[in-house]
């Protein structure tokens, strides 16, 4: 049997809380019987639901927490109020104390980010965390980061994101040398912010075993899947992600309206139902639910707050894969290799 | 009969040139018989095609130009080589010399931007131009700017964009007081770049007759049509636009694949063909072809380089509407009112 993987869950997080988290944990457990859960939440809210899912109960330790962070709480307030006693904090702390290998929450993104950073601290050599999203493309899936952990990034931070993103791509997509592109705009006269140009030049200069730098990509390359990893700073990344999500919803709505408008269309819909189901599955946002916070001493995954059990299970599966494939180890190794090749390049330049 | 509107065309611009521009001009002329064209291009390339479109020929003055700007030419080189003699320059100059009211080109975006700015100069009170796109939404259409004229914008420039965008919304959508939102990201901890916050506060403070400030919007509000005008700086705007375009293409491709995969799906497609045609029309990028350069002393419209005659005609129609509804006058009036209300606010504050 496969090695046990221990996952801590903030059971109170999300728009719904335990009624989504526990059934989600059950779905994921069916797929990965070697998961153990450390569950954190309010006793009165969690225990009745846990009774209904004996499989989860049998595979879990439950820890009562007095405090739950609300979805609209300011991160600074959440940290003040929820440090020590909240289900969010406790479940992150489980990763810090090596009681769990990955933490998953559907709770307040800002609070999760602040608490995770405060509790786990940044990895040596990384200045700022990034939130990485899995982006469905015409070729399969890509990783896009940062989609909103921090605003702005200098050249060094863009390189850190490239290293972390490609480590994640290797852990998730089973690639040896993922391609990496820097997100940029194509209007000739204004092409390239300085930090993007510098990062590009630096990535070209050092030769890294874990990634292949492919140059600049534009907004429409995201959906095409031109590269495996798209790197940008958090403001632009967040807007690109939400703009794409918004467009997908918009087209789904157009399609729904068109297909119910006339009798002929409705008949056509019945014939093509399987095809529509397939399309719906392709476009299902639950399939790629789960943003990964990269750059911390531990893996923390943010599930959409409004997702259902199937979506939450996808976030657990993602965490499982990250641990199973040694994400953190891959990132540390890459950082070391990068540091060494930077030193080598510098010395090379000096000796010339 | 309606007043004549004179439009200058860079006939050599675009991936195809005269073979798209002249048929496009013909289509638009059918819809607006009161258009006159000033055509700029190479004699040998344009005249044979013009012979095939007698209606355009009859409604035009043709001007031979020795130089054509290529699609991949660097803007600085284009300006050096094409100033004076190129079809792009000459057709912009026609607006400057009041021989035309609006100029349209499917040519090199960067070159067009630089030449237009150099030739027409900025409007008094505006520091930097913006490229405004028409964005199809669930509610109809919105205006999004800047989608790539310049990188970065300070608070004052975001306000300028708000004023210009709302003037364009009034000219195009027949609205009295369009709603305006500033594009931002929703992650609580990092919410708001300083310049966006400042612009928001300033827009709230001055009360303007020509727009209603609605606060921050996020990336998914673009497709929803939450506001009539979405304001952002050019880097983010360009990435949002291309990310949405990419997603639309991606879903169209999923749909095409799903509908041709099985016999039942193909039968269903035949029944629902009308519905699919309707959907295709809704998603047709040609419908919203044409970005408007705002902030110059004259209206310049950029058509997609790869569009066809129908798409180019849409860009001409857009130019027609902008002139017909007095875009430049609306912008100047708004700028004056804004200046006055700023003075009033300042004096008010002093007297308190």
**Partner-chain residue, chosen from B188, B236, B276, that has the shortest CB–CB distance to A235:** B236
- What Å distances lie between residue B20 and A29, A55, B57, CA to CA? 59, 66, 15
Which residue intervals of A59-209 are DSSP H helices? 75-82, 87-96, 109-120, 155-173, 194-205
**Partner-chain residue, chosen from A108, A193, A222, that has the shortest CB–CB distance to B243:** A222
Average pLDDT over residues A43-49: 96
Flag if A250 and B278 touch (Cβ within 8 Å). Answer: no
Please provide residue A80's backbone torsions phi and psi, each rounded to the nearest 5 degrees.
-65, -45
- What Å distances lie between residue A235 and A153, B33, B147, B157, CA to CA? 10, 46, 15, 18
**What is the pLDDT at residue B50?**
96
C-alpha B91, offset from chain centre: 17
Q: Which among B72, B268, B287 is the top mutation candidate for probing chain A, defined by the most A β-carbons within 10 Å of its own β-carbon?
A: B268
A60-64 and A35-41: which strand pairing? parallel
**What is the pLDDT at residue B129?**
92
DSSP bridge partners of A170: none
pLDDT band at B78 (very low <50, low <70, confident <90, very high): very high
Cα–Cα distance for residue pair B193/A146, rounded to 1 Å: 16
Cα–Cα distance for residue pair A202/B71, rounded to 1 Å: 29
Flag if A279 and B258 touch (Cβ within 8 Å). Answer: yes
Residue B163, pLDDT above cutoff 80: yes
CB neighbour burial string for A183-222, b if at least 16 within 10 angstroms, e if fewer: bbbbbbbbbbbebbebbbebbeeeebebbbbbebbbbbbb
- Does the beta carbon of B351 lie under 8 angstroms from any beta carbon of chain A? no
Residue B189, pLDDT above cutoff 60: no
Torsion sign across C-alpha atoms A216, A220, A226, A230? positive
Superfamily of domain A134-288 in CATH is Isopropylmalate Dehydrogenase (3.40.718.10)
pLDDT in tens, B112-156: 999 999 999 999 889 999 999 999 999 999 999 999 888 899 999
Domain range summary for chain A, segments of one domain joined by +: 1-126+295-352, 134-288
Q: Residue count of chain A, please give it.
A: 352
Residue B287, pLDDT above cutoff 90: no
Please provide residue A153's backbone torsions phi and psi, each rounded to the nearest 5 degrees.
-160, 135
**Partner-chain residue, chosen from B110, B269, B279, that has the shortest CB–CB distance to A189:** B110
Residue B15, pLDDT above cutoff 70: yes
Closest CA to B298 of B132, B92, B124, B157: B92
Cα–Cα distance for residue pair A161/A180, rounded to 1 Å: 10
Average pLDDT over residues A95-119: 95
Closest CA to B299 of B61, B130, B125: B130
Arithmetic mean of pLDDT over chain A: 90
| Residues in chain B within 8 Å Cβ distance of A275 | 258-259, 261-262, 264-265, 268
Flag if A220 and B249 touch (Cβ within 8 Å). Answer: yes
The number of beta carbons lying within 10 Å of the beta carbon of residue A243 is 32
| Residues in chain B within 8 Å Cβ distance of A186 | 238
| Residues in chain A within 8 Å Cβ distance of B242 | 185, 218-220
Flag if A275 and B261 touch (Cβ within 8 Å). Answer: yes
Cα–Cα distance for residue pair B84/B227, rounded to 1 Å: 41
**Partner-chain residue, chosen from A114, A222, A251, that has the shortest CB–CB distance to B283:** A251
Q: In the 8-state DSSP scheme, what is residue A304?
A: P
**What is the pLDDT at residue B179?**
97
CATH C-level class of B135-288 = alpha beta
pLDDT in tens, A70-86: 998 888 899 999 998 99
Q: Which residue of B has its CA nearest to A241?
A: B219
Sheet holding A102-105, edge to edge: A60-64, A35-41, A5-10, A102-105, A299-302, A291-294, A130-136, A141-145, A229-231, A179-183, A212-217
B291-294 and B299-302: which strand pairing? antiparallel
Please provide residue A256's backbone torsions phi and psi, each rounded to the nearest 5 degrees.
-60, -45
**What is the pLDDT at residue B191?**
61
- Quote the pTM value: 0.90
Q: Number of H helices and number of E strands within chain A?
A: 14, 11
Closest CA of chain A from B350, distance in Å: 35
| Residues in chain B within 8 Å Cβ distance of A280 | none
Helix (H) or strand (E) holding A288: none
Closest CA to B89 of B78, B73, B100, B76: B78
Largest CA distance in chain A: 78
For A81, the 3-state DSSP assignment is helix
pLDDT in tens, B229-260: 999 999 999 999 999 999 988 888 888 888 88
**What is the pLDDT at residue A349?**
65
For A325, the 3-state DSSP assignment is coil
pLDDT in tens, B33-44: 999 999 999 999
Flag if A279 and B273 touch (Cβ within 8 Å). Answer: no
| Residues in chain B within 8 Å Cβ distance of A262 | 274-275
CB-side exposure of A11: number of CA atoms within 13 Å? 30
DSSP bridge partners of B181: B230
DSSP string, B58-107: HTEEEEE-SB---TT--HHHHHHHHTTTBHHHHHHHHHHTTS-SEEEE-S
- Answer whether A181's CB lies under 8 Å from A158's CB: no
Q: Which among A113, A115, A188 is the top mutation candidate for probing chain B, defined by the most B β-carbons within 10 Å of its own β-carbon?
A: A188
**Partner-chain residue, chosen from B108, B274, B282, that has the shortest CB–CB distance to A265:** B274
Q: In the 8-state DSSP scheme, what is residue A3?
A: P
Closest CA to B134 of B179, B178, B165, B180: B165
Q: Which among A115, A251, A252, A269 is the top mutation candidate for probing chain B, defined by the most B β-carbons within 10 Å of its own β-carbon?
A: A251
- Does the beta carbon of B129 lie under 8 angstroms from any beta carbon of chain A? no
- Does the beta carbon of A344 lie under 8 angstroms from any beta carbon of chain B? no
Average pLDDT over residues A219-244: 95
CB-side exposure of A85: number of CA atoms within 13 Å? 6
Helix (H) or strand (E) holding A178: none
Flag if B188 and A138 touch (Cβ within 8 Å). Answer: no
Flag if A242 and B219 touch (Cβ within 8 Å). Answer: yes
**What is the pLDDT at residue B280?**
77
User: In chain A, what percentage of residues exceed pLDDT 90?
Assistant: 64
Closest CA to A141 of A240, A241, A228: A228
Average pLDDT over residues A143-167: 93
Of A189-203, A307-321, B168-182, the poorest mean pLDDT is in A189-203
Q: In the 8-state DSSP scheme, what is residue A280?
A: H
Q: What was the ipTM of the complex prediction?
A: 0.88
pLDDT band at B68 (very low <50, low <70, confident <90, very high): very high
C-alpha B251, offset from chain centre: 25
Contacts for B204-209: CB closer than 8 Å, 24+ residues apart: B205/B345, B206/B338, B206/B341, B206/B342, B206/B345, B207/B341, B208/B163, B208/B334, B208/B337, B208/B338, B208/B341, B209/B177, B209/B337
**What is the pLDDT at residue A186?**
76
Cα radius of gyration rounded to whole Å, chain B: 21
Cα–Cα distance for residue pair B102/B113, rounded to 1 Å: 14
Q: Residue count of chain B, please give it.
A: 352
Phi-psi region of B13 (alpha: psi -120 to 50; beta: other; left: phi over 0): beta
For A181, the 3-state DSSP assignment is strand
Flag if A243 and B244 touch (Cβ within 8 Å). Answer: yes
Closest CA to B134 of B244, B253, B213, B235: B244
Flag if A224 and B244 touch (Cβ within 8 Å). Answer: no
Of A6-15, A173-182, A249-258, A291-300, the poorest mean pLDDT is in A249-258
DSSP string, B216-235: EE-TTHHHHT-SSEEE--HH
Report the topology of domain B1-126+295-352.
Rossmann fold (3.40.50)
Cα–Cα distance for residue pair B231/B254, rounded to 1 Å: 31
Average pLDDT over residues B200-210: 88
- Does the beta carbon of A190 lie under 8 angstroms from any beta carbon of chain B? yes
**Partner-chain residue, chosen from A110, A234, A255, that has the shortest CB–CB distance to B188:** A110
Flag if B268 and A271 touch (Cβ within 8 Å). Answer: yes
Closest CA of chain B from A25, distance in Å: 26
**Partner-chain residue, chosen from A224, A239, A254, that has the shortest CB–CB distance to B183:** A239
**Partner-chain residue, chosen from B234, B254, B283, that has the shortest CB–CB distance to A254:** B283
Cα–Cα distance for residue pair B305/B107, rounded to 1 Å: 6
Closest CA of chain A from B294, distance in Å: 16
Flag if A245 and B151 touch (Cβ within 8 Å). Answer: no
């Amino acid at each position: 049997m496969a090695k046990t993987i221990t996952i801590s869950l903030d059971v109170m997080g999300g728009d719904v809380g335990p009624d989504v988290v526990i059934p989600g944990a059950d779905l994921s457990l069916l797929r990965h019987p070697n998961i153990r859960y450390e569950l954190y939440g309010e006793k009165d809210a969690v225990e009745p639901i846990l009774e209904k899912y004996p499989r989860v109960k049998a595979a879990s330790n439950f820890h009562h927490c007095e405090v739950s962070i609300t979805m609209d709480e300011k991160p600074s307030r959440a940290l003040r109020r929820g440090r020590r006693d909240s289900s969010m904090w406790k479940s992150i702390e489980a990763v810090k104390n090596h009681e769990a290998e990955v933490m998953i929450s559907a709770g307040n993104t800002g609070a999760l980010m602040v608490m995770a950073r405060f509790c786990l601290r940044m990895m040596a050599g990384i200045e700022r965390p990034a939130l990485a999203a899995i982006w469905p493309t015409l070729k399969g899936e890509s990783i896009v980061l940062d989609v909103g952990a921090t605003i702005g990034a200098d050249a060094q931070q863009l390189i850190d994101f490239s290293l972390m993103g490609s480590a994640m791509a290797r852990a998730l997509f089973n690639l040896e040398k993922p391609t990496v592109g820097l997100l940029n705009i194509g209007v000739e006269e204004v092409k390239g912010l300085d930090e993007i140009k510098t990062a590009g030049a630096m990535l070209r200069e050092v030769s890294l075993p874990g990634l292949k730098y492919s140059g600049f990509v534009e907004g429409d390359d995201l959906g095409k899947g031109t590269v495996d990893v798209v790197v940008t700073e958090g403001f632009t990344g967040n807007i690109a992600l939400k703009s794409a999500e918004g467009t997908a919803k918009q087209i789904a709505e157009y399609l729904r309206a068109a297909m119910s408008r006339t009798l002929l269309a409705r008949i056509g819909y019945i014939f093509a139902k399987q095809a529509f189901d397939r399309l719906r599955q392709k476009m299902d946002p639950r399939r790629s639910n789960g943003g990964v916070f990269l750059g911390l001493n531990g893996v923390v995954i943010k599930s959409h707050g409004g997702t259902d059990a199937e979506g939450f299970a996808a976030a657990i599966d993602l965490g499982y894969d990250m641990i199973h494939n040694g994400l953190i180890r891959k990132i540390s190794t890459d950082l070391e290799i990068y540091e060494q090749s930077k030193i080598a390049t510098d010395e090379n330049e000096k000796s010339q």
